[in-house]
Structure 1
């Protein structure tokens, strides 16, 4: 039995368990309403998908009375922080705050007390564990015919909870694992027109990045994708833009998508590329996952693998010299412009809240330079920053810094093998993010870098708080797009703000789900949105946020996530999904629906 799944042999009434509110005009049909499909109808769907339909319960179901099962509960607790297990389990997502519905006391947490009832929360009622595209088609048609909320789950990596949904039917694409290579991918248009795109790989909707990297690495190839085991290339990752440690070398993941195979809201299997359904192709490259259809396959451009130079850096400052720390951080962000323009990309952590009274404030990170083997030249790029740090840190006795081009990987495949050495990422728990894209223009001046440091210094502190920077855009690709003008920025649905971005900053806040009350959780969310988020939004009001790693309550999300592209994205949405079958939280067109995507707003 799939964890969290209950075999369809149980009665519909036993599988349900969600308390349904009354429906009405403009609302989806919900369990226990007369419109809800009969057991026979669900069995008919099951036959049409070759037995791939399962009823769902939260995967922590056996940890709670009256269904407590000690052995099953121990197994769940042992595996609950593994991303592969969570990805393969249709009854859960990667962040457990999205399994639950605490506002209505519908929770089923792994580590909460056995006596607390396990309720359905946002876990869908049923799931189709699709193994082929036609399974997806059948599920889409069934949901449309019966007016049921539809949820698409790939691996469940989603900070906005778009992979879960109360009173819904889930389509799981995790089992679509096909990978195929072509030396010359050609798109065909009307009147016999053909466009050659070079080498590419066709990737099934459920192929995780670790699986994909292994496959391309065996052929001495590389794709532009993220740094994770279980994020799937074809899902919300590439549809939301898709940042990568290779972004400063070859652009965003969405820039490298050549074609999508998509199940539309009508249940049709369509091809979207630069020659066919080009409006849908444009929207799927940055418009957001789960919004325009169900992607069953994506074709990604491949590149010959190259060496990659790693550079490590950091500073530590005694906590009594906090002003020096933030000044040194301004030095770093200002000099990051030159390093990124030279192709530097990577990640860094800012720790402004020491875990104990004697721990220092710290910055640490890695920059990679793809297709660069000149270690001495990279080291020379670092010297101006080292000189600035030496001058600034002189005001803090005991402070120190380093910036060293320390390792040359023979290939990006070697790099990913080192950075993703285990079989899983450790996930689970709860988190709400705030984030912001920070422009190259702001950091091109020391004054702008100081403004950023001042803003970061005013974010809420906690002992576990980490601010993470993602240098995953910019570089030569962004420079080429800037030279092209607005035409280059408009080539995909991705927000134009990404083309101006030097660093993408995130700051998260979590809580203990077994202890925190709903009121306490709301207070944390309010602090994230209206405290830290407001400070970051004020820094550069004309920038925005990366929709895949953003605040679920981001104000004016249309502008923040898509900027000037939103009106066009909405037109594509209305053409391809006029009835709003694919509605996700803070997605294109979601402003016309309630927070659960169950009822249209009047």
Structure 2
């Protein structure tokens, strides 16, 4: 009997301990009742809503022809998806494979729609007070908390099963501060002023560029419509076409307003809460608090010269010869102030029976006006490609009056999202290119299996001031200071895949493609956390290098109960993949 009682006691103790290390679930007594949810709704001025998956009206038994038609019409619209708390930009993060839950727009009406990783409730915050109330409520009731602006995320940080969402989408404040002075503690000397831009937590790039362009101002930011600048973008580092002149986006941050795990609203800059200022500049979004606003350096709306080039060939060796011809010029283009992207789409169907390979290239020379100098720089590039593929590539060089003119052209309409996508990525150093490894790179890329529309992006968005800013003390992966190209292999998954097939597909990326890219340059270069393999092994080293121990210390100090656990974020190794239970 005593043995049996001891066994029962041990089982009870184990169960209690397990419960203490898991977030509260809807089927447990700890889950808030209707009165408590009503209290949260009241304290957030009626902004608490129940969340349903984006594609719910397209499936039985909740099929609604009119609502389904609207969802289908906007399924691939990044701006529409960003405005819906139940949608993400990449719909594979709306699913919960471990529980066999999905709700794809493409699957038959008869396929059951389940909640997946879509949060159960959302606070559509309008001001800092709403964020504070949501954070305190989640902490009090031990709820899984997620933060979403637009859901533009490749590694699953904007969703989690059975969670409460803080939806910052409506916090659209943008202001230009001609003489910004950081907030300082009492009895601290007044720092020098600088021109700056203050951005609310819900501001997306297409909105920001439109406003700043009208004011003749520019900031260091990215090249996609629905990236939220104050969220994971700047908190993860933020590469930019302006990087060569002014460094990473995180290098340009001057001050953050942030809600911490205890519900307090604080200011973080070089003069107070400097530990958080370090962490929020490169340490990753969703791990240290909820950013209410970010104030960043303002720059002129520079004139810009843009060089473009593209070609298509039949699938075959000559295509990759052309790719190799381009690669050997990337270093010189960057050294002359060029930043941009090249895209490789080796397997593009143009009919039921024919497939071609395509290359597109764009280099921007910010604060330059001399088109002749750019023509001279690009002439040997065109010549080498022509010799490689046996045809003249299409090319163009244009002088634009402002950088915002370029952004308004690039960001017309929507980004096409709503698909299922996974990435394999790596940072490649300047030394790699100086050593003439472009042939090695091209050979490796040619061995990857590409599905229709799968491709490679080579973002040459570092060098210049990104490298020169290596003395800035921030959480940014130090590898960025040595980077020449951020290399991305993008793969689409079919919604018709079973979860087992998706798992095998993703495992091939993690276990085959990423090691292939890593083998190009063994060592400590790592990967860019905002655009990386979602199952990156040893992500702590890959994403932050030598900065990870310091980021861990800040995390433990500022969020000792791990309220803010973002997938593959600082401290997430202590939790399961969904952030629901400690590992």
1:462 Cα offset (Å): 2.2
Q: Does 1:70 align with 2:65?
A: yes
**CA distance in structure 2 between the aligned counterparts of 1:70 and 1:403, rounded to whole angstroms:** 47
**CA distance in structure 2 between the aligned counterparts of 1:510 and 1:325, rounded to whole angstroms:** 22
Q: Residues 532, 189 of structure 1: CA spacing in aligned structure 2 closer, same or farther, 3 A cutoff?
A: same
- Cross-structure match for 1:494: 476
**CA distance in structure 2 between the aligned counterparts of 1:473 and 1:219, rounded to whole angstroms:** 27
Deviation digits for residues 288-342 of structure 1 (CA, Å, limit 9, x no counterpart) = 101110001010111121100000123444434x1x4434323322211111011
User: 1:198 pairs with 194, 197, 201, which one?
Assistant: 194
- Cross-structure match for 2:365: 369
**CA distance in structure 1 between the aligned counterparts of 2:110 and 2:322, rounded to whole angstroms:** 51
Q: Does 1:414 align with 2:418?
A: no
**CA distance in structure 2 between the aligned counterparts of 1:204 and 1:598, rounded to whole angstroms:** 29
User: 1:181 pairs with 172, 176, 194, which one?
Assistant: 176
Q: Does 1:355 align with 2:349?
A: yes
Q: Residues 294, 540 of structure 1: CA spacing in aligned structure 2 closer, same or farther, 3 A cutoff?
A: same
Does the residue aligned with 1:502 lie in a helix, a strand or coil? strand
Q: Residues 386, 67 of structure 1: CA spacing in aligned structure 2 closer, same or farther, 3 A cutoff?
A: closer
1:52 Cα offset (Å): 0.5
Q: Do the aligned partners of 1:153 and 1:170 also contact (CA within 8 Å) in 2?
A: yes
Q: Do the aligned partners of 1:242 and 1:252 also contact (CA within 8 Å) in 2?
A: yes
Q: Does 1:341 align with 2:322?
A: no
- Cross-structure match for 1:106: 101
User: 2:485 pairs with 500, 503, 509, which one?
Assistant: 503
TM-score for the superposition, normalised by structure 1? 0.90
- Cross-structure match for 2:420: 430
Q: Does 1:463 align with 2:452?
A: yes
Does the residue aligned with 1:199 lie in a helix, a strand or coil? strand
**CA distance in structure 2 between the aligned counterparts of 1:553 and 1:348, rounded to whole angstroms:** 25
Q: Do the aligned partners of 1:106 and 1:121 also contact (CA within 8 Å) in 2?
A: yes
**CA distance in structure 2 between the aligned counterparts of 1:236 and 1:296, rounded to whole angstroms:** 13
Q: Do the aligned partners of 1:240 and 1:289 also contact (CA within 8 Å) in 2?
A: yes
**CA distance in structure 1 between the aligned counterparts of 2:435 and 2:362, rounded to whole angstroms:** 23
Q: Does 1:561 align with 2:543?
A: yes
1:91 Cα offset (Å): 0.9
- Cross-structure match for 1:592: 574
1:65 Cα offset (Å): 1.5
Q: Do the aligned partners of 2:382 and 2:392 also contact (CA within 8 Å) in 1?
A: no
Q: Do the aligned partners of 1:179 and 1:203 also contact (CA within 8 Å) in 2?
A: yes
- Could you list the runs of 4 or more consecutive aligned residues of structure 1 that deviate by over 6 angstroms after TM superposition? none
**CA distance in structure 2 between the aligned counterparts of 1:197 and 1:247, rounded to whole angstroms:** 22
Q: Do the aligned partners of 1:154 and 1:206 also contact (CA within 8 Å) in 2?
A: yes
1:370 Cα offset (Å): 0.2
**CA distance in structure 1 between the aligned counterparts of 2:552 and 2:70, rounded to whole angstroms:** 44
- Cross-structure match for 1:151: 146
Q: Residues 493, 471 of structure 1: CA spacing in aligned structure 2 closer, same or farther, 3 A cutoff?
A: same
Unaligned runs of 5+ in 1: 1-21, 482-487
1:547 Cα offset (Å): 0.5
**CA distance in structure 1 between the aligned counterparts of 2:18 and 2:558, rounded to whole angstroms:** 25
1:97-496, aligned counterparts within 5 Å? Answer: 97-190=92-185, 191-320=187-316, 322=317, 324-355=318-349, 359-391=355-387, 393=388, 398-404=390-396, 406-422=397-413, 424-446=414-436, 448-474=437-463, 476-481=464-469, 488-496=470-478
Q: Residues 179, 267 of structure 1: CA spacing in aligned structure 2 closer, same or farther, 3 A cutoff?
A: same
Q: Residues 83, 387 of structure 1: CA spacing in aligned structure 2 closer, same or farther, 3 A cutoff?
A: closer
Q: Residues 564, 197 of structure 1: CA spacing in aligned structure 2 closer, same or farther, 3 A cutoff?
A: farther
- Cross-structure match for 1:582: 564
1:467 Cα offset (Å): 0.8
**CA distance in structure 2 between the aligned counterparts of 1:430 and 1:279, rounded to whole angstroms:** 37
Q: Do the aligned partners of 1:101 and 1:107 also contact (CA within 8 Å) in 2?
A: yes
- Cross-structure match for 1:92: 87
Unaligned runs of 5+ in 2: 1-16
RMSD of equivalent CA atoms? 1.7
- Cross-structure match for 2:532: 550
TM-score for the superposition, normalised by structure 2? 0.93
How many residues align structurally? 563
Q: Residues 212, 546 of structure 1: CA spacing in aligned structure 2 closer, same or farther, 3 A cutoff?
A: same
**CA distance in structure 2 between the aligned counterparts of 1:362 and 1:67, rounded to whole angstroms:** 43
**CA distance in structure 1 between the aligned counterparts of 2:347 and 2:301, rounded to whole angstroms:** 40
**CA distance in structure 2 between the aligned counterparts of 1:163 and 1:579, rounded to whole angstroms:** 20
**CA distance in structure 2 between the aligned counterparts of 1:326 and 1:194, rounded to whole angstroms:** 57
**CA distance in structure 2 between the aligned counterparts of 1:342 and 1:301, rounded to whole angstroms:** 24
Q: Do the aligned partners of 1:23 and 1:29 also contact (CA within 8 Å) in 2?
A: no
Q: Do the aligned partners of 2:454 and 2:492 also contact (CA within 8 Å) in 1?
A: no
**CA distance in structure 2 between the aligned counterparts of 1:464 and 1:84, rounded to whole angstroms:** 22
**CA distance in structure 2 between the aligned counterparts of 1:500 and 1:220, rounded to whole angstroms:** 32
1:108 Cα offset (Å): 1.3
Q: Do the aligned partners of 1:349 and 1:466 also contact (CA within 8 Å) in 2?
A: yes
1:354 Cα offset (Å): 4.5
Q: Do the aligned partners of 1:573 and 1:588 also contact (CA within 8 Å) in 2?
A: yes
- Cross-structure match for 2:511: 530
Range 311-320 or range 95-104, more displaced: 311-320
Deviation digits for residues 366-392 of structure 1 (CA, Å, limit 9, x no counterpart) = 10000000111112222343444355x
**CA distance in structure 2 between the aligned counterparts of 1:197 and 1:378, rounded to whole angstroms:** 36
Range 581-590 or range 454-463, more displaced: 454-463
Q: Do the aligned partners of 1:489 and 1:499 also contact (CA within 8 Å) in 2?
A: no
Does the residue aligned with 1:164 lie in a helix, a strand or coil? coil
1:46 Cα offset (Å): 0.6
Deviation digits for residues 227-261 of structure 1 (CA, Å, limit 9, x no counterpart) = 12221111111111111122222211111111110
